[in-house]
Amino acid sequence: MARGGKRVEQPLPPPLPPAERTVGQLVGEAIRLYGASFWKGLALGVPVVAVNALAWTAGLGAGRLALIPLSAVLLSLSYVAASAIVTGAPLRSRSAVVAYAIAVLVFLPFPLLVSVFVLPGLAWLSLFGLAVPATMAERLGLRAGLVRGYQLARADFVHVLGGLATLALIVIISQFSLYFVLREFAENTRIAAAALAALVVSPLVFLGSAILYVDQDARLRSRGQRPKE
């Protein structure tokens, strides 16, 4: 305390480097990057809104089954674009095409795994999801990208799983909160409010997932392990 009872604000500690970044700082970095590239980040939510709209109209049975591959195709667009924002890799490249193919393969079984229990789905994404930004940043092929993603996940699997779980939880809570606020205080229909909430909040998951690649790569490098050629 300073004289006169005034509190002296202490400067915040500097953020930890990627090799030591915590899950909380991962979320903070995703939010910071979203704000720095807001319109690009916001565009990541468009495929999510499209998937939700299709889910609302698909009904049950064969319609929902057909939605699984279509969801993988659409959500993969967001993840590849987020990986480009985080890593600076170009979208118009062979590596981006390969990364997109990997993303589709990774997302295909995700809805089935989540339908059993949420944890298997998150574990699957943790093990192989980092292959997408790795393929773009390191210009890898399909097989090499999957191997690299698995190698990155093993560097600190708890950090990856905890990061994805935290990002998913934050997005779910934020979407529900924003949905109820929009439904109560704005002239929007229930579906429009849910769509707007998904559009604004869902990009955090894709950006945070791509940032996990940076964290895991730094962890491997700090141990003297280089990417396999």
Is the distance from CB of 152 to CB of 130 less than 8 angstroms?
yes
DSSP 225: P
| Distance between start and end Cα atoms, the chain | 56
Is the distance from CB of 181 to CB of 197 less than 8 angstroms?
no
Task: Please write the tens of the pLDDT for every residue from 145-176.
Answer: 999 999 999 999 999 999 999 999 988 888 77
Structure-model confidence comparison of residues 58 and 107, the more confident one: 107
Q: Based on the number of CB atoms within 10 Å of its own CB, is 201 exposed (0-12), middle (13-18) or buried (19 or more)?
A: buried
Q: How far apart are CA 93 and CA 73, in angstroms?
A: 18
The two tokens of residue 129 are 């999801």
Nearest CA to 26 out of 129, 168, 147, 124 is that of: 168
Tokens 């210009």 belong to residue: 139
Amino acid at 186: A
Q: What is the pLDDT of residue 132?
A: 97
Whether 134 shows a pLDDT value over 70: the answer reads: yes
Lowest average pLDDT, out of 65-79, 98-112, 215-229, goes to 215-229
Nearest CA to 122 out of 145, 153, 152, 151 is that of: 153
Mean pLDDT over the full length of the chain: 85
